[in-house]
Structure 1
């Protein structure tokens, strides 16, 4: 399992993408995880981590693990109280489609409340 704690900064999104790609590289090289799965994970990680930076509170915790052999599970946690929403967006909206992409591209996804009054984890799985 890969785990990193990042500051709530837009730069953390790029750092997390780089770390995830590096962590997955040996699995791709060994044909244990498809390269397309990793590319989808990087795209969706960008969306979920951006949400944690913009709408969350406190440090952003990112965890990545393999499940069921070739599938990936990514979890992003923060101390904010709001849960992500998938809602209808205006056609000309410049943001607000991230969780719709997570729902569309992931095998499964969900949210979990943290311990205490605040905090949440948004997770998704990709693969077989």
Structure 2
């Protein structure tokens, strides 16, 4: 049986993304490894406490030879517009999460809202990626 281990978000600045996801969102560092033999490629992952088998890769947008200059520029522009990534998080106490994230300086793109599937809110990370947090209604 296969399982999801990691999902990736493109980020414009890995250190800024790391600070945002750990200090404001409250995720934990899973790995932070720089590989000199691969041109100082940095493998940086974060994840929620208590869910150690899942991580989000905060992936820097690469240059050549992986991406040519034009493609890299297009990807940076699309990422900044919020067009390249969304993560969906769930919680059992959405009111507390909303209040705590707001107190840590998160600027919401959608306030806490009742939806057909439960209640949720949204914000963007510094790179433009969308984050949605939901408390799902009982089924």
Q: Does the pair score TM above 0.5?
A: no
Could you say which structure has the higher helix fraction?
A: 1
Could you say which structure has the higher strand fraction?
A: 2
Q: Which of the five TM-score ranges fits, normalised by the shorter chain?
A: 0.3 to 0.5
TM-score (norm 1): 0.34
Pick the structure with greater CA Rg: 2
